[in-house]
Amino acid sequence: MKTVFTNYDCVHTFAQRTQNNGRTSNNNIFFEGDKIYSYGYHYELGRFLDDKTILINNEGYSVTTGKHIRLLMGATSQYKQYYKTKTDIDIVYRHTMYLKYWLAKARKPEIYISQIYSLWNSFNEYINERKRNELRKEEKYKELLLFVDSLQEETSIEDLRNWAKEETRKKKDKEKKQLTESLAKFKEYKKDYFRIGDKDYLRLSKCAKFVETSQGVKINVNEAKRYLKLLKSGAIMRGAKIGNYTTISFDKLLRIGCHNISKEEIQHISNLI
């Protein structure tokens, strides 16, 4: 019995269910019994739920895994197909909350409402057909049910917009608090790395020999002095080097590599060295 196949033949042999195992020559795809895998046991590509039904894991993000998913979809088109992104309550919940956020900001809300209803209907179809009624008892399901039902109210979009504004405010308040705490720890040498928001911060090392960034980069203090002198001279900074990093621009922020440094922070470190 042949057990080593091309990708195409391996998936199709699994779909025919004529043998218990098989694999590709490099083990990129292999199957055992009712389950087929992509690049190892950590990624179950699909499994037969019964003789007429297959559950396909379409959550893969890599290009090659995406190809494996499409191969399995095509090879098993004669069966009833379910997809993980429409049957796993955690994924359905995350995706619905993602759509809820964008619905609150949408100029054409009907597009997102349609996607939400489609996902919700597919999820409930799976529950009904597979008799997974226990899923309806989960808190995430109850929250989704209330949200989907609320979309039928005339004020639902306006309520969502108010919700989005409040969520944005809460997020900004949380980031502001985290930034204040992290920056204080960074300046006190209790924390060497953090990234909150779009700005980076500087400090003089304990030994006073380096300028350190909140992204964990160290620049020799003499190199920093040379660069700051050039910066203050009014020279065009684009392309100027400091250590292994190249200046992108200097306007409202100094952009060097992946760093964005404010003028206030530059003045602060300049006073220290």
Q: Where in the chain are the domains?
A: 4-83, 89-152, 198-272
Per-residue pLDDT for 176 more than 90?
A: yes
Q: How confident is the model at residue 234 (pLDDT cuts 50, 70, 90)?
A: confident
* Segment 125-169, tens digit of pLDDT: 999 999 999 999 999 999 999 999 999 887 788 888 888 888 889
pLDDT category, 196, cuts 50, 70, 90?
very high
Long-range contacts of 44-51 (CB under 8 A, 24+ apart): 45/69, 45/72, 46/72, 46/76, 48/17, 48/79, 49/82, 49/130, 51/17
Token duo for residue 9: 């033949």
Q: Residue 76 has what pLDDT?
A: 98
Provide the mean pLDDT of the chain: 94
Query: Which residue type, as a one-letter code, is found at position 99?
Result: L
The pLDDT tens digits for 4-35 are: 999 999 999 999 999 999 999 999 999 999 99
Beta carbons of 81 and 73 less than 8 angstroms apart: yes
Residues 29 and 11: beta-carbon distance below 8 Å? yes
pLDDT tens for each residue of 72-111 = 999 999 999 999 999 999 999 999 999 998 999 888 899 9
| Residue 243 pLDDT | 87
